Amino acid sequence: MNSKTLIIANWKMNPINWTNAKKLFDSVKKNLKKFENIKIVFCPPFIYLPLLSNSKSESTMNLSFGSQNCFWENEGAFTGEISVQMLKEFGVKYVIIGHSERRQFLNETDEMINKKIKAVLKSNLKPILCIGETKKQKKQNKTFKILRNQININLKSISNSNLKSKISNLIIAYEPIWAIGTGEPCNPQEAKKVFLFLKKIFPHNLILYGGSVTNENAVNYIRTGFNGLLVGGTSLDPKKFVNLIENVRKNL
Ligand code: PGA
């Protein structure tokens, strides 16, 4: 297991143009040398990936790139899709899989997510599997049942396949759906219960928290035990994002 704390910047479908994307990346990058115990992973829209990874310099070793999605086949007639091999060629090391926005807006199913996880593991990249419950499921006390079910289907037939030896590359992100982009983060005590539940299932994997993480609340999750954070909105504000990293660093 990688001992470095992971901070993933999920830019989603932002910023609106390349000039702003480059500006955002540069403003965070120039502050990165200070953060030796932390690995920052930028997950920009696909089209910005090669441009940004080309502009990464040697002095920023604690910086990596991830994509927000991938397809499970290597090549072929799959209009609009991008394979793991294509991502790998451009320096991508991490792939976010099963983000709730993809599950919700693109009808991505648990079975599709399972195929994607397998494709990423097979290529020796690190999948970041997003799991989480809705507000309604939480109110009905179904959080653990939902997570267990997502885990079972999303990781089906991996531990008894030739991918078993690669499973330590898997990263789990607990992202309660009701906390994503709402400004209503999960209470750290409740998040801790989920962390302990996941740690029992995945003792050798990194476990992240995501959902309305800010520079102010980030440390709460690190203190709780999480191995890192998946950050959406705050990662688009360079000042706040660098401050978030700094606050986490102070608490390691
Ligand atoms: P948020 O997004 O930080 O804006 O809530 C997190 C995510 O969707 O990964």
Instruction: Look at residue 55 in the predicted model and tell me its pLDDT.
Output: 77
Instruction: Look at residue 252 in the predicted model and tell me its pLDDT.
Output: 86
The token pair that represents 71 in the structure block: 């397809």
Confidence tier at 62 by pLDDT (50, 70, 90) = confident
In the chain, % of residues over pLDDT 90: 89
Please work out whether the CB of residue 44 comes within 6 Å of at least one atom of ligand 1: no
Q: Bridge-partner residues for 65, per DSSP?
A: 42, 92
Q: Which residues contact 114 (CB under 8 A, 6 or more apart)?
A: 153, 154, 155, 156
Q: How far is the CA of 3 from the centre of ligand 1 (A)?
A: 23
Confidence tier at 59 by pLDDT (50, 70, 90) = low
- At residue 160, the 3 state secondary structure works out as coil
Please work out whether the CB of residue 186 comes within 6 Å of at least one atom of ligand 1: no
Confidence tier at 33 by pLDDT (50, 70, 90) = low
* pLDDT at 87 > cutoff 60: yes
Q: How far is the CA of 246 from the centre of ligand 1 (A)?
A: 19
Mark 77-107 as b/e (b = at least 16 C-beta within 10 Å): eeeeeebbebbbeeebbbbbbbbbbbbeeee
The token pair that represents 85 in the structure block: 């091999």
* pLDDT at 3 > cutoff 70: no
* pLDDT at 36 > cutoff 90: no
Determine the Cα–Cα distance for residues 120 and 106; give it in Å rounded to an integer.
20
In the chain, % of residues over pLDDT 70: 95
Instruction: Look at residue 57 in the predicted model and tell me its pLDDT.
Output: 63
Q: Which residues contact 11 (CB under 8 A, 6 or more apart)?
A: 21, 24, 42, 43, 44, 45, 68, 235, 236
Run of H or E including 27: helix 18-29
Read off the DSSP letter of residue 92: E
Confidence tier at 66 by pLDDT (50, 70, 90) = very high
* pLDDT at 113 > cutoff 70: yes
Q: If you average pLDDT over residues 178-195, what whole number do you get?
A: 97
Instruction: Look at residue 72 in the predicted model and tell me its pLDDT.
Output: 98
Closest CA to 42 of 25, 60, 65: 65
Mutate to test the pocket of ligand 1, among 212, 217, 220, 229 (most ligand atoms within 8 A of CB): 212
For the question of residue 175 being annotated catalytic, the response is yes
This prediction's pTM:
0.96
